Structure 1
Amino acid sequence: MSKSIATDDLFYASLLDVSGMVRRREVSPVELVKAMLERIARLNPMLNAYLLVTADAALDAANTAEAELSRGLWRGPLHGVPIGLKDLFEIKGVPATFATTAYRVLSDKDATIIHRLKTAGAISLGQLHLHEGAFGEHHPALRNCINPWNAAYWPGGSSSGSGSATATGLCFASLGTDTGGSIRFPSAACGVTGLKVTWGRTSRYGVFALANSLDTIGPMARSAADCAAMLEAFAGADPHDPTSLDAAVPAYLQHLDGVLGARGLRIGIDEAYLTAEIDDEVSAAILTVVGAFSEMGATIVPVTVPDRQAACKAALAITDAECAWYHRDVFKAQAEAFGPALRGAIERGLAMDAVALADAYIEKERFRGTIKRFFADVDMLISPIYPKVGLRYDEMEEALRDLYGLIGYTSPYNLSGVPSITFPCGFSSVGMPIGVQLIGPHLSEPMLLKAAHAYQQITDWHRQKPPIA
């Protein structure tokens, strides 16, 4: 690739901008993939964002895309665009590890989402790092993933590699999963945009599970519009996954057309929720977002957020129990292969009292009903993702001892099954990104994407680049 093309401007371009360049034949998918692979080879040893780079497969896919484009076939906005995949999907011929030494699965089939992305013409560059089993922390044998803004800070979890790689120009978008905050944490920590979808909006067939009744799969990218393009390619019902929702997939990108503001949106704000036990810089940044939406024509509605402590406790119990169910056979055979955090979750799940578990599932249904009624009066809720301005790696042990303090703004909305979108809204005094999330009712992804897109039309937080060479 020529030096005039292989620039930071290209690596940090939006997915949709790159898609336009590919479609207009201004850049070849083959040249693009080669440049991305060179960049990964240079930066990934520092970041540890990719666990496996599938260079040969990526180049083969790029050659296929180039041939298709040359004869006038265009599959859509992902055609010929390099992306990254969290390492918990079955991909034909590619080993998946779930970021643990206990698994190495070489599948003869693609997960439904992977099949749909391939059909859309997306090119995978490789498997991205994550917390072991999508829970808690990285496996000690695989080294931590690094936050490109500051190596001392957590890049979020469990989709740490997705956040780090997307923020650093090592892919144009990525797949993440979210069971208790695992798309929203790395999106906030790394300064990217991530969409946690309604439970069942995307298929879980061929996806390693953390907690089956809470897991969701969604896009992470540099903008809400890029997330819309990704989601449009892989959302929808799947006969292989009977829990997937039989609901039509909107034209998410088309829904963004002509968005110049947020007029008509009713955005709920609970001032106590935004200020109590929240760092001042986080509160100030989010209140600035509230002001921006008000200026764009949204109606700001005072609300009281339902109590989340019982819901968070229930979500943790369900996660432990369903995690133990998923891993029980492998754990029985080789418990020593699991790292301490995931091992602890499995052991707690195996030891759980049946009445305590029943209480958790009853609370799940109660909280779902409470949240459904809450959204009768507002279109969305504005919320922090977590209370601190970044979380240092040397603070993680303490944070994991106070899980409610860490996941109290994310996990309850997995329990209720509703969607939320996270996007950057500022920087702290130490130079770490600050994120905000908008939470909406069941299947409100079009509205959430539209709102985030409107905000990103008048701000440039999502265009900032981390200080990495």
Structure 2
Amino acid sequence: MTSTSLHYEPLTVVSERIRRREVSPVEVTGAMLDRIGELDSRYHSYATVLADRAMDRAKTAEAEIAKGIWRGPLHGVPLALKDLCYTTFSPSAGGTTMHREFTPPYNATVVDRLEQAGAVTLGKLKMTEGAYTSHHPDDQAPLNPWNTGYWVGSSSTGSGVATAAGLCYGSLGSDTGGSIRFPSATCGLTGIKPTWGRVSRHGVFPLADSLDHVGPMARTAADAAALLGAIAGADPNDPTALQDPVPDYLANLGTGIRGLTIGIDRSYANDGIDGEVVAALNEAERVLVSLGAKIRDVRIPPFEKLVSLWIPMCSVETAIAHNHTYPARASEYGPDLKALIDQGRSLTGIEVGEINHERLKFSGGLAAVFQEIDLLLIPTMPMTVPSLARMSEYGEDPSVLNGILRFTAPFDFTGSPTITLPNGIDHGGMPLSMQLVGRHVSEDLLVRAGHAYQSVTDWHTRRPPDLA
């Protein structure tokens, strides 16, 4: 199930081939656009394909490289953007119908940084409405290339599908409750949810400002590191962006993890969790030990109440984000986003205060755990990838959603960085996944650990069977 075709080569490999002028940005971009034209009518990952602009960008990159100008590992590489990133050169709908014709007057900071790095923007990728849990009823949701009858996750659905199907070399996603990690898990990808504020949110449609994270989705840890290196850093347009200097995430990628301490809370990671998920995590633990890591049993703070408060917290901040269009244009909203906003508008100050107190307690307790360990090993989801039929039976049952959020929402509340890594294939042929969680601003360590794991395993090289 592996592939060495151009469209499935790692971003970093294609970048080096472009730098050496073994392949040209025009050749690579043309091949990617042809593949989108061939396949995306089935998978529906793109909201907008910018073919002419992409080819112009590729020609510019080719001319620069011919003159000896090299902008770094993204130069001439075709990428794609989640449609909540503002772009002056394309509408930015944020998964809504009301903004389908909205072309912003400025680019998101992350868009400018990718383009300054020489990346070729292929287009804008579909997403759930407003980055919440479901697509607008009038929008065709992307379909999982591993099996179109199975869940893609939310909300970075197009990012997951396009990257897994070889329709871009990497993409941007956003994560408020798991929206980088779920599509990475369901599509067999590597995704980084950075520390909150590590990547600017200027020019990015918010779902819930204090929970929103922007980050890369790719097929390897090295590829995700290359993307993160281009978009991370302080931003005068976003006062919440961290001032910490951005390291060269690729520089020490191969130094390994010998001597690192990895924590596991076996109750949290195993109790009530699908047996295949647990077995894959146990095998990943064995691999990490073989690479020289030390394992320490830990106990994370009580998480159940915090997870149950994610929907209320998200609802309040979503109501704020949509204050200019809701309730004035309520009829244009899909039912799930509308219900979330209504909930947020009804919460009291006391209820919001309770959420924040719980958030602070958990964050403090987790920080204490990280005094003893370097990384935390956990699953990404408590179950194998569910079918669409199973998800429709669940509906928007809060108890089901809370269960799915078990391994994701706590680390949006704390702003902790995580890397999501494929670590197996389940009995139905769908990807399995795990996370490594780190201290704040430890993305360099996360990508190092992810790369070490991927250097001795091949789960990240597996492709959807129909496309391999």
SS at match of 2:250: helix
**Contact 2:382 2:406 (8 Å CA) reproduced:** no
What residue in structure 2 maps to residue 210 of structure 1? 207
Q: Is the contact between residue 228 and residue 449 of structure 1 (CA under 8 Å) also seen in structure 2?
A: yes
Contact 2:300 2:365 in 1 (8 A): no
Instruction: Give the CA RMSD over aligned residues.
Output: 1.2
**Aligned pair 1:169/2:166, yes or no?**
yes
- Which of residues 42, 47, 51 is equivalent to 2:43? 47
Paired residue secondary structure (1:253): coil
Q: Match for 1:134: what amino acid?
A: A
Deviation at 1:305? 2.2
Matching residue of 1:4: none
- Are 1:92 and 2:99 an aligned pair? no
Structure 2 CA distance for aligned equivalents of residues 454 and 209 of structure 1: 34
Q: 1:101 aligns with which of 97, 104, 107?
A: 97
How many angstroms does 1:30 deviate by?
A: 1.1
Task: Please give the alpha-carbon distance, in whole angstroms, between the structure 2 residues aligned to 1:400 and 1:14.
Answer: 37
Structure 1 position 79 matched with structure 2 position 75:
yes
Q: Which stretch of structure 1 is more off in the superposition, 139-148 or 241-250? A: 139-148
Q: 2:303 aligns with which of 296, 303, 308?
A: 308
Stretch of structure 1 that moved more, 271-280 or 234-243: 271-280
Report the secondary structure of 2:155's partner residue: coil
Aligned counterpart in structure 1 of residue 410 of structure 2, from 403, 409, 412:
412
Q: What does 1:217-232 correspond to in 2, within 5 Å? A: 217-232=214-229
**From 436, 439, 443, the counterpart of 1:445:** 443
Q: Could you say what secondary structure the match of 2:171 adopts?
A: strand
Tell me the equivalent position of 2:336. 341
What are the within-5 Å matches in structure 2 for residues 140-219 of structure 1?
140-219=137-216
The within-5 A match list for 1:347-426 is 347-397=342-392, 398=394, 400-401=396-397, 402-426=400-424
Structure 2 counterparts to residues 16-55 of structure 1, below 5 A: 16-55=12-51
Q: Structure 2, unaligned stretches of length 5 or more?
A: none
| Contact persistence 1:209–1:215 (CA under 8 A) | yes
Asked whether the 8 Å contact 1:314–1:364 carries over to 2, the reply is no
Contact 1:102-1:330 at 8 Å conserved across structures: no
Secondary structure of 1:252's aligned partner:
coil
2:324 is paired with a residue whose SS is helix
Contact kept, 8 Å, 2:302 with 2:362, in 1: the verdict is no
Q: Which moved more, 1:371-380 or 1:169-178?
A: 371-380
Q: Secondary structure at the match of 2:318?
A: helix
User: Is the 8 Å Cα contact of residues 419 and 444 (structure 1) preserved in structure 2?
Assistant: yes
* Equivalent residue in structure 2 for 1:248, among 227, 239, 245: 245
Percent identity over the alignment is 46
Measured in 2, the distance between the counterparts of 1:8 and 1:400 equals: 40
1:365-399: CA deviation from partner (whole Å, max 9, x where unpaired): 22211111111111111111111110111222416
Deviation of residue 292 (structure 1)? 0.4
Q: Is the 8 A contact 2:32 2:168 kept in 1?
A: yes
Number of residue-to-residue matches in the alignment: 461
Contact 1:375 1:441 in 2 (8 A): yes
Report what 2:265 is aligned to.
270
Q: How does 1:425-440 map to 2 (within 5 A)?
A: 425-440=423-438
TM-score normalised to structure 1 length: 0.96
How far apart are 1:333 and its partner, in Å? Answer: 2.1
Matched, 1:114 2:83: no
Summarize the Cα distance change of 1:8–1:292 in structure 2 as closer, same or farther, 3 Å threshold.
closer
Whether the aligned pair in 2 keeps the contact of 1:314 and 1:359 (CA below 8 Å) is no
Tell me if the contact between 2:280 and 2:432 (Cα under 8 Å) persists in the aligned partners.
yes
Match of 1:319 in 2: 314
Question: Quick check: 1:30–1:62 contact (8 Å CA) kept in 2?
Answer: yes
CA distance in 1, matches of 2:213, 2:128: 16
SS in 2 for 1:424: strand
Q: Distance in 1 between matches of 2:85 and 2:239?
A: 18
Change (3 A) 1:124 1:447: same
Match of 1:135 in 2: 132
Q: CA deviation at 1:8?
A: 5.9
What is the alpha-carbon distance in structure 2 between the residues aligned to residue 387 and residue 152 of structure 1? 19
1:249-305 deviation per Cα after TM superposition (whole angstroms, max 9, x unaligned): 01101021x33x421110111222222111101100010000001111110001112
Which residue of the other structure, out of 459, 462, 465, is the alignment partner of 2:460? 462
Question: TM-score with structure 2 length normalisation?
Answer: 0.97
Indicate the residue corresponding to 2:327 in structure 1: 332
Counterpart CA distance in 2 for 1:420 and 1:305 is: 16
Which stretch of structure 1 is more off in the superposition, 388-397 or 186-195?
Answer: 388-397
3-state SS of 1:390 partner: coil
What is the distance in 2 between the residues matched to 1:409 and 1:399?
A: 20
CA contact (8 A) 1:159 1:177 kept: yes
Q: Deviations over 1:53-104 (max 9, x none)?
A: 0111111111111111111111000000000100001111210111111223
Supply the distance in 2 between the matched residues of 1:399 and 1:377 (Cα, whole angstroms).
40
